[in-house]
Chain A
Amino acid sequence: MARRGLASDANAEVAYIDTSETVIELPGGNVRLTPELSFVGGFEDLTEATRRPIYRTLNAAGREIPGAVLPHPLGKEDAVKMYSTMARLQTMDTMFYDAQRQGRFSFYLTSQGEEATAVAAAAALEPEDEVFAQYREQGVLLWRGYTLQQFAHQLFGNRHEPGKGRQMPIHYGCRDLHFHTISSPLATQMPHAVGAAYAMKLQQARTVTVCFFGEGASSEGDAHAALNFAATLGVPVLFVCRNNGYAISTPAHEQMRGDGVVSRGPAFGIPSVRVDGNDARAVYNAIKAARQIAVDGCRPVLIECMSYRSGHHSTSDDSTRYRTSSEMRSWKARDPVARFRAWLQAAGWWSDAQEADARRTARQGVLDAMDVAAKEELPPLGDMFSDVYAGPGLPWHLQEQYDETLSLLRDHPELKPPGMPMPPPSSS
Chain B
Amino acid sequence: MLASQRMNTVGRSQPAAARAMASSRLGGRVSRRASLQVVAAEKGKQLMMWEALREATDEEMERDPCVCVMGEDVGHYGGSYKVTYGLHKKYGDMRVLDTPICENGFMGMGIGAAMTGLRPIIEGMNMGFLLLAFNQISNNCGMLHYTSGGQYKAIRSDNPIIFFEHVLLYNIKGEAGGPDEVQCLEKAEMVREGTDVSIFTYSRMRYVVMQAVAELEKKGYNPEVIDLISLKPFDIHTISQSIKKTKKCIIVEECMKTGGIGASLSAVINESLFDDLDHQPPEQ
Contacts and interface: CB of A to CB of B under 8 A. Distances in A.
B112 A192 contact: yes
B105 A183 contact: no
Nearest to A164: B149
Contacts of B107: 191
B154 A175 contact: yes
B109 A194 contact: yes
Interface in B122-154: 135-136, 139-140, 143-154
Contacts of A197: 112
Contacts of A174: 151
A335 to B, nearest CB: 34
Contacts, number: 164
Interface string B238-252: 000000000000000
Contact of A185 (B109, B135, B149): B135
A198 B151 contact: no
A380 interface: no
A229 interface: yes
Contact of B159 (A190, A198, A222, A389): A389
Contacts of B112: 132, 191-199, 209
B82 interface: no
B135 A390 contact: no
Contacts of A322: none
Interface string A202-230: 11000001000000000001101110110
Contacts of B149: 161-164, 166, 173, 181, 387
B90 interface: no
Contact of A202 (B94, B109, B135, B150): B94
B113 A196 contact: yes
B148 A191 contact: no
A130 interface: yes
A150 to B, nearest CB: 13
Interface residues of A, number: 52
B164 interface: no
Contacts of B261: none
A386 B150 contact: yes
A390 B157 contact: yes
B184 to A, nearest CB: 13
Contacts of B136: 188, 191, 222
Interface majority SS on B: helix, strand, loop or mixed?
A: helix
A66 interface: no
A190 B233 CA distance: 30
A246 to B, nearest CB: 24
Contacts of A386: 150
A175 B152 contact: yes
B108 A195 contact: yes
B169 interface: no
B135 A188 contact: yes
Given A188-B139, A195-B115, A229-B109, A390 B158 contact: yes
B117 A199 contact: yes
A164 B145 CA distance: 11
Interface string A97-139: 0000000000000000000000000000000001010000000
Interface in B142-198: 143-154, 156-159
Contacts of B115: 180, 192, 195-196
A397 interface: yes
Interface in A144-179: 161-164, 166-167, 171, 173-175
Contacts of B233: 395-397
Nearest to B133: A191
A233 interface: yes
Contacts of B68: 202
A175 B159 CA distance: 18
B151 A228 contact: no
A415 interface: no
A174 B151 CA distance: 8
Contacts of A166: 146-147, 149
A316 interface: no
A386 B145 CA distance: 10
A191 B106 contact: yes
B136 to A, nearest CB: 7
Nearest to B113: A195
A229 B106 contact: yes
Given A389-B33, A395-B233, A397-B233, A162 B105 contact: no
Interface string B77-111: 00000000000000000110101101011111111
25 contacts: A162-B148, A163-B149, A166-B146, A175-B148, A181-B151, A183-B139, A183-B140, A191-B104, A191-B107, A191-B112, A191-B136, A192-B111, A192-B115, A195-B109, A195-B110, A195-B116, A198-B109, A200-B116, A226-B109, A228-B102, A229-B99, A229-B102, A387-B145, A389-B145, A391-B158
Interface of B: 32-33, 68, 94-95, 97, 99-100, 102, 104-118, 120, 135-136, 139-140, 143-154, 156-159, 233-234, 236-237
